[in-house]
Chains A and B, each alone.
Chain A
Amino acid sequence: MTHLLEVNDLHAYYGPTHVLSGIHFSLNKGGITTILGANGAGKTTTLRALCGMVTTKGQISLDGRRIDGSACEEIVRMGVAHVPEGRGTFAALTTEENLKLGAVTRRDKHGVTQDLEHMYSLFPRLKERRKQQAGTLSGGEQQMLAVARALMLRPNLLLLDEPSFGLAPLIVAELFEILGRINREDGVSMLLVEQNAELALDLASHAYLLETGKVVLSGSAEEIQEHDQVRRTYLGY
């Protein structure tokens, strides 16, 4: 299987703070990979580094093309969608405007209209709220909006930062089912950062474990799930 994403010796910095110290990982085309780790391990930073939101050193290749050092908006235009921590809602705009913004770089008008309807069928709650100011949506609805907005790009690679954050368990289950379906049906590759390790390992095929800015463990989701240390620390059994 070919790699969609290859990361070599990636360092990331917030000012003088060295957050990632030389991580390596890769992501198969059409696969779902998850990054596990405690708070402050550098999971969110890894996603930010991939789309040019923080200062980095090292190599990031998307489909064989170097993207490190490119501006965030240019990386997005190469088909990398990001569901950011904190959802990044355009609070003063309507739900529908938020969704349209997800596809603002696309030129196929017809496809965008189709995808909008597709999102409304995936997330009926968003359809009910389409004319409503997005800032007034509930946390869960805004999270769905963030995922739907990212999908409106028709991404090759979807970066998900804690998609289950603030969602009721039933909705989380539904969201992960939708993510799995999108991965299978549309072949969207995903890189998932998730506090809920059990959930993440169920969806993903590969996993990496980050500890204070370093990859300490990697393997298939099953292997990681069976790993004693991971079980004790992150899965709790």
Chain B
Amino acid sequence: MDLFLQLVLSGLATGCIYACLALAVVTIHTTSGQVNFAQGEMAMFSAYIAWSLIDLGLPYWLAFILTLAVSFLGAAMIQIFLLRPMAQASILSHVIVFLGLFTIFNSTAGWIWSFTIKPFPSPFPEGSVMGLIGFHELGVLGVVLVLLAAVYAFLNFTPVGLAMRAAAENPTSARLVGIRVGRMLALGWGLAAVMGAAAGMMIAPVVYLEPNMMAGILLYGFAAAVVGGIDSPAGAVAGGILVGVIENLAGAYLPFIGNELKLSTALLVIVIVLLVKPSGLFGRTAVNRV
């Protein structure tokens, strides 16, 4: 029973990280209809920025906040200078650009910081609560929940959040009420990068820092987004937590999966959801009367 509880709790913690990444993917997808394959690499790059700032002697939380800010600006710039000029291009062109970004971030990180694995500090103490959940995992839960609450409040209780939701739902009508839709897209990219950066910094102490650290994590993030419904922010969070817990339990209780096939469970989850309920658990079929 203890083991089960332990697995569920640590699954919740990693699930929260997947949720962050899934939410980043969903944010960009709902605002622009695109799936950013480079989201994970951008998160990895953010984690490296944080590592450099800490290496320079900055206190952890200052480095954390600075990294979020830099990630926000960087991603907004990418949207403005790279994606805006090609707004009319086809989906395939966008896919290629995202793959290009993926490679650029990956190799630039390797070029600047080298491909050797680095340890990444956790701001939380070692040890655990009654042997059930580590302080780091507990801290991750806290950080992610605060971040999610902030994003939720921003989207639902501020005029800019409302404008962003409007621009995502109906860009033409959004322009007709005076919303600068282009800025909303940049804002969406910025927010997504902030969530990705937080995920990167929270997972780095566990998987260690290296340019390929996010490849698997992004896959879990995609699984989470698909489980929850690619157009539903709440679904992304629920999906992330679900995937985290499923992955942990499957790894422990299904002997043929073990640690080696853990990542495959993410793919399996994606396939099952697409077969059984393609819109995802929370995917909304918009009600429309004509």
Task: Give me the interface of A with B, judged by CB distance under 8 Å.
Answer: 51, 53, 71-73, 76-77, 82, 84, 88-93, 97, 100-102, 104-105, 133, 135-139, 142, 149, 153
Given A73-B181, A76-B177, decide whether A88 and B159 contact each other with a Cβ distance below 8 A: no
Contact A91 B287 (CB under 8 A): yes
The answer to the question of B112 belonging to the interface, with a C-beta cut-off of 8 Å to chain A, is no
Given A92-B169, A104-B163, decide whether A153 and B177 contact each other with a Cβ distance below 8 A: yes
Chain B positions within 8 Å of A92 at CB level: 165, 169, 284, 286
Instruction: Select from chain A the residue with minimum beta-carbon distance to B180.
Output: A73
Contact B169 A84 (CB under 8 A): no
CA distance A153 to B178 in the complex (A): 9
The answer to the question of B92 belonging to the interface, with a C-beta cut-off of 8 Å to chain A, is no
Chain B residues within 8 Å of chain A by Cβ, number: 23
| Cβ of A88 to closest chain B Cβ, rounded Å | 4
Chain A positions within 8 Å of B288 at CB level: 91, 135
Contact A76 B159 (CB under 8 A): no
Instruction: Select from chain B the residue with minimum beta-carbon distance to A107.
Output: B159
Our pick among B162, B163, B178, B289 for the contact of A76 (Cβ within 8 Å) is B178
Task: Give me the interface of B with A, judged by CB distance under 8 Å.
Answer: 159, 162-163, 165-166, 169-170, 172-181, 284, 286-290
Instruction: Select from chain B the residue with minimum beta-carbon distance to A76.
Output: B178
Instruction: Select from chain A the residue with minimum beta-carbon distance to B181.
Output: A73
Contact A90 B170 (CB under 8 A): yes
Given A73-B178, A135-B288, decide whether A84 and B173 contact each other with a Cβ distance below 8 A: yes
Contact A73 B170 (CB under 8 A): no
Contact A104 B165 (CB under 8 A): no
| Cβ of A60 to closest chain B Cβ, rounded Å | 17
Contact A104 B162 (CB under 8 A): yes
| Cβ of B212 to closest chain A Cβ, rounded Å | 38
| Cβ of B158 to closest chain A Cβ, rounded Å | 11
Contact B166 A133 (CB under 8 A): no
Count chain A CB atoms within 10 A of each CB in B166, B170, B177, B181 and give the residue with the most: B177
Count chain B CB atoms within 10 A of each CB in A53, A88, A138 and give the residue with the most: A88
Contact A104 B177 (CB under 8 A): yes
| Cβ of A141 to closest chain B Cβ, rounded Å | 9
Instruction: Select from chain B the residue with minimum beta-carbon distance to A137.
Output: B289
Contact B173 A105 (CB under 8 A): no
Chain A positions within 8 Å of B176 at CB level: 51, 72, 76, 82, 84, 88
Chain A positions within 8 Å of B178 at CB level: 73, 76-77, 104-105, 153
Chain A positions within 8 Å of B166 at CB level: 90, 93, 97, 101, 104
Given A91-B288, A92-B169, A138-B289, decide whether A97 and B162 contact each other with a Cβ distance below 8 A: yes
CA distance A229 to B100 in the complex (A): 63
Our pick among B162, B165, B179, B287 for the contact of A135 (Cβ within 8 Å) is B287
Chain B positions within 8 Å of A101 at CB level: 162-163, 166, 174, 177, 179
Chain A positions within 8 Å of B290 at CB level: 139
CA distance A169 to B173 in the complex (A): 27
Chain A positions within 8 Å of B165 at CB level: 92-93, 97
| Cβ of B27 to closest chain A Cβ, rounded Å | 16
| Cβ of B185 to closest chain A Cβ, rounded Å | 13
| Cβ of B231 to closest chain A Cβ, rounded Å | 10
Chain A positions within 8 Å of B181 at CB level: 73
CA distance A153 to B175 in the complex (A): 13
Chain A positions within 8 Å of B162 at CB level: 93, 97, 100-101, 104
Give me the 4 closest cross-chain CB pairs, A-B, nearest first: A76-B178, A88-B173, A105-B178, A72-B175
| Cβ of B30 to closest chain A Cβ, rounded Å | 10
